[in-house]
A and B are shown apart, each in its own frame.
Chain A
Amino acid sequence: MTTEDVLIQADQVSRFFGPLRALDNISFEVKKGEVLGFLGPNGAGKSTTMQILSGNLAPSAGRVMISGIDLLDQPKQAKALLGYLPDQPPLYRELTVDEYLLFCACLNRIPASQRRNSLDVAKQRCGLTEVGKRLIGNLSKGYRQRVGIAQAIIHSPAVVILDEPTVGLDPIQIREIRALIRELRADHSVILSTHILPEVQTVCDRVQIINKGQLVLNDTIAGLQQRMRGEDLLVALRQAPELTALEAVVGEGNVTVLGEGRFKIHTAQLEQQAEALAIAAVENGWGLYELMPERLTLEQIFVDITTTETAAPESAEEVA
């Protein structure tokens, strides 16, 4: 990995609001072509992080580099590489979509000859071609959100920062916006904050969970899915045998009786145990009608990480 591949580098960033420590020593990197999901409960510091990365807030300590340019020392050069959608899209309601996006194009120093072109591209990518002449104030929330995204990508920035882009949208619009984000990945790096967990699973390459201003998890989606694989097998039998007979089949596994012919088997080798159980059940006529590996949901992982105090130190090691 060369340094050119790292588009965003946050280095020990902290931010205080008076005595409140909103962000505590956060460090992370985003590489080119990567979609990073920022997860966290309300008030965890997601929006603060986004505001710092976009130059709307100055960190109390630490520094942010955008493609090797320090955001505090050379804000103009660094901000030219950024597109930012805050949690409230910054729209002038009295302008039409075209007027507004042209204004944004001017602000981002797109040469006059290319402005029309970048306007058309941005509108087309965000599905706004039909509404160019309409006033932003008259658009629905979903369309306003799209105008907000169009504003963030109109100058083809290297880094796109989206703060809760799908909040308040209907399911169809959410799917469209997610498709757009996946499309953006081709030539932008995207940072996305959300508290909707499936969103992370569908669009992100990497996940960071932030809680109370601290980074508690930093993992790839594959790694996260690995975590989600539980080690429990749920079995329901119509003619349940003695516990010892079941334990003999399971071997080193640990069997818990749930009552009414239901058992929970804790084991490291889920697949082999499930197969062995099915064979034994057929041979002995136990009347197997349910056999299910119990998977942890992302919600459970999330709740585990963000609620238990003991989880913080060990996941902090992973971050380091």
Chain B
Amino acid sequence: MMIFTIASRELRSLFISPLAWSILAVVQLILAYMFLTQLDLFVSLQSRLLGIEGAPGVTEIIVAPLLGNAAVVLLLVVPMLTMRLVSEERRSQTLSLLFSAPLSMTEIVLGKFFGVLGFLLIMVAMIVLMPLSLLMGGSLDMGMLWSGVLGLVLLLASFAALGLFMSTLTEQPIIAAVSSFGVLLLLWIIDWAGSNNTGQASELFAYLSLLRHFESLLKGVFDSADVVYYLLFVSLFLGLSIRRLDADRLQH
């Protein structure tokens, strides 16, 4: 209940500022362009694909790249949304309103997290409208589409949790944005390490990579290990955020 109150305040504040609208507009525009080029590619390939046995379908050619591109674009965007969550409140000293209200730190952190997640879900819904529009002229592999969307949502939840944690660490929103972007990018490319030689270390890095788990979901492979990875990732950083906010009051 309190979580919902904080989340809806967070969401409302986002939409009052032009930030949310401009982010929605820019992301939609860029992804729409990518969607159209992918569609163009498919149309030009269509006649040749017809002759091939087991050729990739419309979902594989259009939807999977679209969601993959959306993930990269949002890797840049999410830190900008999450940077203000706590650091801005700390800087303008509004955090004491939440601290002196009868709320637990868990409620505060979850409220902020779900506020941003709500915004990201709106964004995902708008992105998914594009592939869904293809239903007017043909059919899609729905299983593959929804597994990709699930992957995107889980990925964004992880971005948001990490961004929230970075925001609890500092008073400067920009520092929070830069550091969450840095960590996210590092986790994105961490599987590059030793990708040309096999070893235990590179397997570990590959497992840690945010991208690997997303890729299998994009291919329509639903592995519960991937889902659990994201859930663990989210809970880890939410837990750390709670600890960090708690530490604000304590001795240091």
Contact = CB atoms under 8 A, between A and B. Distances in A.
Contacts of A93: 92
A197 B2 CA distance: 40
A109 B96 CA distance: 17
Contact of A90 (B12, B17, B93): B93
Interface in B74-108: 92-104
Contacts of B94: 90-92
B5 A106 contact: yes
A220 interface: no
B249 interface: yes
Contacts of A75: 102, 104
Contacts of A107: 2, 5-6, 97-98, 101-103
A76 B2 CA distance: 12
Interface residues of B, number: 25
A55 B99 contact: yes
Nearest to A15: B251
Interface in B51-94: 92-94
A276 B102 CA distance: 64
Contacts, number: 74
A80 B103 CA distance: 9
A88 interface: yes
B235 interface: no
Given A76-B102, A80-B102, A107-B97, A57 B249 contact: yes
Contact of A56 (B5, B99, B104, B252): B99
A72 to B, nearest CB: 10
A57 B251 CA distance: 9
Contacts of A80: 102
B92 to A, nearest CB: 8
B97 A76 contact: no
Contacts of B5: 103, 106-107
B102 A92 contact: no
B26 interface: no
A79 interface: yes
A86 B96 contact: yes
B154 to A, nearest CB: 30
B101 A94 contact: no
Interface string A78-109: 01101110101011111100010001101111
B250 interface: yes
A151 interface: yes
A55 to B, nearest CB: 6
B13 A94 contact: yes
B95 A77 contact: no
Nearest to A148: B97
B16 interface: yes
A308 to B, nearest CB: 32
A76 B107 CA distance: 11
Interface residues of A, number: 33
Given A58-B251, A94-B16, A151 B104 contact: no
Interface in B1-41: 2, 5-6, 9, 12-13, 16-17
A202 interface: no
Contacts of B93: 86, 88, 90
Given A88-B93, A108-B102, A60 B13 contact: no
Contact of A55 (B6, B12, B16, B100): B100
A77 B102 contact: yes
B103 A76 contact: yes
A58 B249 contact: yes
Interface in A107-130: 107-109
A303 B104 CA distance: 42
Contact of A54 (B2, B92, B95, B96): B96
Contacts of B17: 94
Contacts of B102: 75-77, 79-80, 107-109
A58 B250 contact: yes
A56 B249 contact: yes
Interface string A142-174: 000000000100000000000000000000000
Given A57-B249, A58-B250, A93-B92, 12 more contacts: A16-B251, A55-B249, A75-B102, A76-B103, A90-B96, A92-B13, A94-B16, A106-B5, A107-B101, A107-B103, A109-B2, A151-B97
7 contacts: A55-B100, A79-B101, A80-B102, A92-B13, A95-B16, A107-B97, A107-B98
Interface of A: 16, 18, 51, 54-58, 60, 75-77, 79-80, 82-84, 86, 88, 90-95, 99, 103-104, 106-109, 151
3 closest A-B pairs (Cβ-Cβ)?
A90-B97, A84-B100, A90-B94
